[in-house]
C-alpha cells in the first residue's frame, strides 16, 4: 500500500489565524492516535498572516479517509468552518521517507 500525504493551507478570516491554529492543533491532537497517522503538522507562514499550513502523512489514503469519522472530528470541522475564509493551495503527495 502506498503511503499518502497532503500539504496545503487554510486561509483564516482576517484576525482569526490564532483561533484557526488552535482548532488545527486540536485536530492534530485527535490524529495523534489515529490508525495510520504518521504526521499531522500545523504551521504558520511568515509571508501570509492568514494562512495555516497543514502537512499530513498517512500509512495509506484509506487511513486518512477513515480519520474523518473519528469521534470529535466532524464537530471540530463545524466549529472551525466560520473562521475559514477559504482554501489555499493543496497538494496530494506520495511520501518517500518516514517523518
How far is the first Cα of the chain from the last one, in angstroms, to the nearest whole number?
Answer: 17
Residue 50 placed within a domain: yes
pTM: 0.91
What is the residue range of 68's domain? 4-93
Q: What is the length of the chain?
A: 99
User: Among residues of the chain, what percentage have pLDDT more than 70?
Assistant: 99
pLDDT at 61 over 70: yes
Q: For residue 98, is it within any domain? A: no
Domain count along the chain: 1
Flag whether 61 is in a domain: yes
Q: Which residues pair with 10 in a beta bridge?
A: 52, 87
> Which CATH number characterizes residue 62's domain?
3.30.70.100
How is 1-62 classified by DSSP, letter by letter? Answer: ---EEEEEEEEEPTT-HHHHHHHHHHHHHHHTTSTTEEEEEEEE-SS-TTEEEEEEEES-HH
Amino acid at each position: 500500500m502506498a503511503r499518502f500525504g497532503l500539504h496545503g493551507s487554510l486561509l483564516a478570516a482576517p484576525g482569526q489565524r490564532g483561533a484557526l491554529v488552535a482548532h488545527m492543533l486540536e485536530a492534530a491532537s485527535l490524529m495523534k492516535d489515529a490508525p495510520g497517522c504518521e504526521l499531522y503538522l500545523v504551521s504558520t507562514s511568515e509571508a501570509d498572516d492568514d494562512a495555516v499550513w497543514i502537512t499530513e502523512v498517512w500509512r495509506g489514503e484509506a487511513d486518512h479517509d477513515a480519520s474523518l469519522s473519528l469521534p470529535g472530528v466532524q464537530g471540530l470541522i463545524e466549529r472551525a468552518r466560520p473562521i475559514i475564509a477559504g482554501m489555499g493551495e493543496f497538494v496530494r503527495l506520495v511520501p518517500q521517507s518516514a517523518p
